[in-house]
Amino acid sequence: MTDTWIILLITGFSAGLLGGLLGIGGGVVLMPVLRFVVGLSPAMAAGTTVVAVFCTTLGGGAKHYRLGHVPLRDLWPVIITGGLSTFFFSMLFLYLAQKEKWLDFGIGCVFMLLALRIIWDSRRSVRPDSESASAVGIIQGSRAGKMILGFLAGILPGLFGIGTGAVLVPGFRYFLKSPVKIAIGSALVCFCANALISAVIKYTQGYVNPGLALPVCLGCLIGSQLGAVVNNRAPSRLLMLLFGLIFLWVSTGFILSGWNHK
């Protein structure tokens, strides 16, 4: 039991560090550990993961907000539509939870998209934004565009308990033309709302293991604070490439698990 706690604490810390660093929830680290090391079912792993993801986004989002990376007044359309979308697709999770093959397969596809995104980003410099200081603190784009982004971002945490960062960070960055730091900080804050809704619903559905979630959440809260600080000093291209390759390997494991599931 002690060994499991230590593993989960370290896993949570790693997930939080990654979340604060890259603006994702850290589920790409948590899910395979809970699924293949601890041995939880796909549905229970997804539910427990999203509780920890909430802690990652809460800690990382708060730190980024204090660093001035979160223009909260510009985010409400994304947060509101994302919350509604998460609620709707969380209801569909009850059906998907009975289809373990497709749950594993879907999670693997999400992870693969995230891996490819990180590998692509690693090809460019990931130093802090080269944009002028006047651009910091602004999220451009129409209200309708932000609402569409929020809706799309709510699908993945509702269905799988993961993945919003893979939608929000590039969405803020390329669709709404936000600076990198603003995109990462804003993604964490918006994902926090989605993760909270998804976590509450999955807990009421019986797909959260509180005993396993506790050490993971503690690690996530600590790691996400550090990740946000490291982000402020810029992650290295090599680190992002390494993360991307690891995620690509993890995604392959989930896809093969779903493919070979009887």
Spatial CA neighbour of 158 closest among 109, 195, 125, 192: 195
Instruction: Provide block-wise average pLDDT over 10 residues at a time, the chain (262 residues).
Output: 85 87 78 89 89 90 88 93 91 74 72 74 54 55 91 81 74 83 88 90 92 93 86 61 69 72 56
The half-sphere exposure of 45 on its side-chain side, counting CA atoms within 13 A, is 22
**Sign of the torsion angle spanned by Cα atoms 201, 206, 210, 216:** negative
pLDDT at residue 237, as a whole number: 62
Residue 17 phi, psi dihedral angles, 5° rounding: -60, -45
Give the type of residue at 188.
L
Domains of the chain: which residue ranges?
A: 2-260
In contact, 194 and 164? CB cutoff 8 Å:
yes
The token pair at 126 is 């990931």
Per-residue model confidence (pLDDT) at position 81? 95
State the alpha helices, DSSP H only, in 97-179.
100-122, 143-160, 164-170
How many other C-beta atoms are found inside a 10 Å radius of the C-beta of residue 198? Answer: 33
DSSP code for 28? H
CA dist., res. 175 & res. 250, Å (int): 28
CA nearest 18: which of 196, 187, 194? 187
Contact 70, 225 (CB under 8 A): no
Q: Give dist(CA 45, CA 48) in Å, integer.
A: 5
Please tell me the predicted confidence (pLDDT) of residue 126: 44
